[in-house]
Amino acid sequence: MEKNLNKENEEDKIAVNNIKIAQMKITKLFFLMVFILLLNGCCKNCDELLEESDQELTDNFVHNLIVENSIKTQGLPLEKKGNLSLIVSSERSFGLFDEGFDIILEANKNISGIQLRVKRGDAISKEYIDIKFLEEFTKIEVDTDLSSEFGDGTNFGVAIGSICYEVRAYDRDGNISIPQDVCFDLIGWGNDGAIARAWELQYYEEHVNDQLLTRNLEEVYCDDGQENPCFSLKHKFLDVKDNGTFVLQSLSYEYENGDSDADKIRFEDILEGKWVYIENQLYLVVYGNKLLKNEALVTDENLKLGEGNIIVFQEITIDDDFQPVNMKLVVAEADDNGMGIEDKITEYYKRPIDD
């Protein structure tokens, strides 16, 4: 009898445990369903917020666009009319905060203006820009800049994803093209910490007319095509800062006679601006250019935002396996006819071991 009672008690306990386990599973399932429902609801709200954010961005973007000979207008742009066709392109796939984004227009006949809206996802700007040209063209490059109110792009990395311009062209006869889109990523400054260091040039190589010439610092090289017979580079420093700015400073000498220091002319060149690293290319956008000759100021140029001079290092290699860290920069210059690459300079930098 006692054994039977114990057996019944054990069976009761097992049954109770099974019930508790079942209840726990039901509770977990319930909360999981609630979580999924809440998650779905949240995602819908997130989509709505994203759409609102895109709309706000497009409106804010077009509001801060600066284009010469343009006005901003509320409402819808013109509709297609006639046989005017348009191709819109750009030499770059990205825009920069201070430099904006330049577009190239090609039409089958002379155009007198364009209308431009900004798009992102399904959002499209409520305003459009009407840009009138002073002369008529079949091909023209249009410079679009951003005002400082939109931000300076410091430490953004890839600041904003794809943005598109919707462009229509028109001519003086009332013909209007079908809208064409050109898209780009808006990139912020100072977007790679590995590059944001102080670098000192060790030596450089010139590849000119299929000849490779190695140049060491402080050595004098004569009759190599420079204005004066002889030339020597004393030093060159590239300070790439993590706030998106840079300073490039070089000190060089030119000689009337390579055997006499009395004839040497001292040049110090200081470039300042902002930098960005995109697709293995380092872009230095120069806004300040100061040149001193024998310590006397020759040039002190300060460019406005949107008008910077761009230096492109077409290849960059950083070796941080050993100290000091090394960096190789390659800059190529097209020939005078723009038909190909004639000169290539490769610069070899290092940074101090205690940096």
Domains of the chain: 1-188 (2.60.40.1930), 198-350 (2.40.128)
pLDDT number for residue 300: 95
Q: Tokens 């190589």 correspond to what residue? A: 205
Compute the C-alpha angle 114/119/121, nearest 5°: 155
pLDDT number for residue 92: 87
Phi and psi, residue 225, nearest 5°: 100, -10
pLDDT number for residue 131: 97
Which of 104, 178, 185, 190 lies closest to 144, judged by CA? 104
Q: Are 136 and 67 in contact (CB under 8 A)?
A: no
pLDDT number for residue 327: 87
DSSP symbol at 21: H
Which of 278, 201, 198, 279 lies closest to 240, judged by CA? 198
pLDDT number for residue 194: 83
Burial track 303-325 (b if 16+ CB lie within 10 A, e otherwise): eebbebeebebeebebeeeeebb
Contacts 24+ apart (CB under 8 A), 207-212: 207/343, 207/344, 207/345, 207/346, 208/342, 208/343, 209/342
Q: Are 275 and 190 in contact (CB under 8 A)?
A: yes
In whole angstroms, give the CA distance from residue 283 to residue 160. 18
In whole angstroms, give the CA distance from residue 348 to residue 187. 27
Q: 67: helix, coil or strand?
A: coil
41 is written with which tokens?
A: 């609801």
Indicate the Cα dihedral angle 315, 216, 236, 98, nearest 10°: -20
pLDDT in tens, 69-103: 999 999 999 999 999 999 999 988 898 888 889 99
Look up the pTM and report it. 0.73
Q: What residues of the chain score a pLDDT lower than 50? A: 1-8, 13-14, 16, 18-50, 155, 157-158, 334-341, 354-355
- Rg (Cα) of the chain, in Å, rounded? 31
